[in-house]
Amino acid sequence: MTTFKQASPLVTQSQSNQHFVEQYQKVRRFTEQLCEPLVTEDYVIQSMPDVSPTKWHIAHVTWFWETFLLSPALPGYKSLHPQYAYLFNSYYNTLGQRHCRPKRGLISRPTVKETYAYRRYVDEHVLDLLGQLDDEQLTKLVPIILLGLNHEQQHQELMVTDIKHVLSCNPLNPAYVERLATGASSVPILAWLSFPEGIYWIGHEGDGFAFDNEGPRHRQFVQSFQLASRLVTNREYLEFMDDGGYENPLLWLSEGWATVQQEEWKAPLYWEKLDGRWWIMTLSGLREVDPAEPVCHVSYFEADAYARWAGARLPTEAEWEVAARDVPMEGNFVESGLYHPTPLSASTTNGKLAQMYGDVWEWTQSSYAPYPNFKPDPGAVGEYNGKFMCNQYVLRGGSCATSLSHIRSTYRNFFPANAQWQFMGIRLAKEV
């Protein structure tokens, strides 16, 4: 397995016009690189309301640059098409009416070709703007430039997970990319690492970029706890399934049990039993479940039920952050080109935490809520995170679809408890 290490943040606020030009081009190129394995028909399908067509993603991130950077900075700027703002606005109510999210797959026009022409049009204007800004103007625009870069990286991850769901609905089990060999692995025995109680600083600090929901930095008392040395594997999750985990209501939260019954869950998303053996749909097609890989595509409900079955619990997000702060930021990220979690390639964890970053987003038991004294930014950009702080749970650590330059120990991802289609997995915690 190729392991990537984070050298430095994507950008800082003290760099030149040329640096931002290069970073803008780098991020925009990677979006299109992720689209290279696709054919035109792949771009337009919406397989469920939570999934957006690839064409919509590449248009939406372009609309974001146009709306939040170009229009305010360039008086008289005109969009390539006046209705694109209606089609490609996601959820910014203050910016006007928008197309219905579950019906994005019905937008056959603009065509894929026209969508790429829209991207080129906006790219030309952004690059011209970045090239002519003086130091004072650049300093004022740095925050929105940084947000735009990180916003596009978020949608790059969504493109990967959404196209996986789209391809999984095809009975031909098509592959997005060929599978890369990762080698056999003997997964080390799960060990428990202890962390002392104390008052810890939680949240982002420093000059590097962070989303608004990662602050304000604040102190929080954390009880002593233990964290599992590695992620839960498919083999361990199969033991839960074989022990009747999906049939035992005592293991499930009430809403989780109702969801299991309603959706008839028997296994993680993308698992299928054929001739008595479990198979999983991956971005490299259908293949047999590898017992050594981290289990993924499990909801919060499933992660919580498994933890209860295992005599443990899920960590709080504060516990996860305390444990992760001194862990090297390395792992299986989107740069590896694997697009799937890989077995831990070590015979032992040597008393250290492994797989904290990459592979799968790790569910925590923490509801997604504002930190003390959190206030959303003024204007439309304030709708980015704050208004979603309800009825969702926090995940940490990034996944095999996340860019390495995008992740931090303070990064707070969030999804509803029944969501499965992201690369979501399990790390256990328990009391000391």
Place 3 in a pLDDT band, splitting at 50, 70 and 90.
low
Residues 212 and 333 in one domain: yes
Residues 137 and 256 in one domain: no
Domain count of the chain?
2
Residues 83 and 224 in one domain: no
Residues 144 and 44 in one domain: yes
Residues 329 and 391 in one domain: yes
Residue 184 belongs to a domain: no
SS3 state at 221: strand
Residue 69 belongs to a domain: yes
Residue 39 has pLDDT above 90, yes or no: yes
CATH code of the domain covering residue 249: 3.90.1580.10
Nearest-angstrom CA–CA distance, 57 and 152? 9
Residues 156 and 223 in one domain: no
Residues 162 and 220 in one domain: no
Residue 180 belongs to a domain: no
Residue 410 has pLDDT above 70, yes or no: yes
Place 9 in a pLDDT band, splitting at 50, 70 and 90.
very low
Segment 269-275 shows an average pLDDT of 97
* Pairwise pLDDT comparison (256 vs 6), residue with the higher score: 256
Residues 198 and 159 in one domain: no
* DSSP string computed for 110-167: S-HHHHHHHHHHHHHHHHHHHHH--HHHHHHHHHHHHHHHHHHHHHHHHHHHHHHHHH
Count how many Cα atoms sit within 13 Å of the Cα of residue 188 in the half-sphere of its side chain.
19
Residue 15 has pLDDT above 80, yes or no: no
Residues 415 and 312 in one domain: yes
Residue 429 has pLDDT above 70, yes or no: yes
Residue 56 belongs to a domain: yes
Residue 8 has pLDDT above 50, yes or no: no
Residues 164 and 212 in one domain: no
Domain enclosing residue 351, as ranges: 192-431
Pick the last residue of a domain from 168, 202, 230.
Answer: 168
pLDDT tens-place string over residues 98-126:
999 999 999 999 999 999 999 999 999 99
Nearest-angstrom CA–CA distance, 231 and 354? 8
Nearest-angstrom CA–CA distance, 167 and 33? 18
Beta partners for residue 424, in sequence order: 361
Residues in the chain: 432
pLDDT of residue 180: 82
Beta partners for residue 202, in sequence order: 218
Residues 245 and 337 in one domain: yes
pLDDT of residue 6: 57
pLDDT of residue 186: 80
Decide if 429 contacts 228 (C-beta within 8 A): yes
Instruction: State whether the Cα torsion 51-56-57-61 is positive or negative.
Output: negative
Segment 163-170 shows an average pLDDT of 98
Residue 11 has pLDDT above 50, yes or no: no
Residue 173 belongs to a domain: no
pLDDT of residue 377: 87
pLDDT of residue 168: 98
CA-to-CA dists, residue 179 to 2, 112, 115, angstroms: 14, 27, 30
The pTM of this model reads 0.95
Residue 211 belongs to a domain: yes
pLDDT tens-place string over residues 373-405:
999 988 888 889 889 999 999 999 999 999 999
What proportion of the chain, given as a percentage, has pLDDT over 90?
Answer: 88
pLDDT of residue 16: 87
Nearest-angstrom CA–CA distance, 305 and 248? 9
Decide if 218 contacts 373 (C-beta within 8 A): yes
Place 2 in a pLDDT band, splitting at 50, 70 and 90.
very low
Average pLDDT, the chain: 94
Residue 175 belongs to a domain: no
Place 207 in a pLDDT band, splitting at 50, 70 and 90.
confident
SS3 state at 35: helix
Q: What are phi and psi of 135, to 5 degrees?
A: -60, -40
User: 176 CB contacts (<8 Å, ≥6 apart)?
Assistant: 37, 38, 163, 164, 167, 283, 284, 339
Beta-sheet pairing, 330-332 with 285-288: unpaired
CATH code of the domain covering residue 153: 1.20.120.450
Residue 176 belongs to a domain: no
Residue 28 burial (10 A CB sphere; 0-12, 13-18, 19+): buried
| Least confident span in 26-40, 198-212, 324-338, 344-358 | 344-358
Segment 113-142 shows an average pLDDT of 96
Decide if 298 contacts 395 (C-beta within 8 A): no
Residues 301 and 254 in one domain: yes
Report which of 54, 32, 308, 303 is spatially closest to residue 166, judged by C-alpha positions. 54
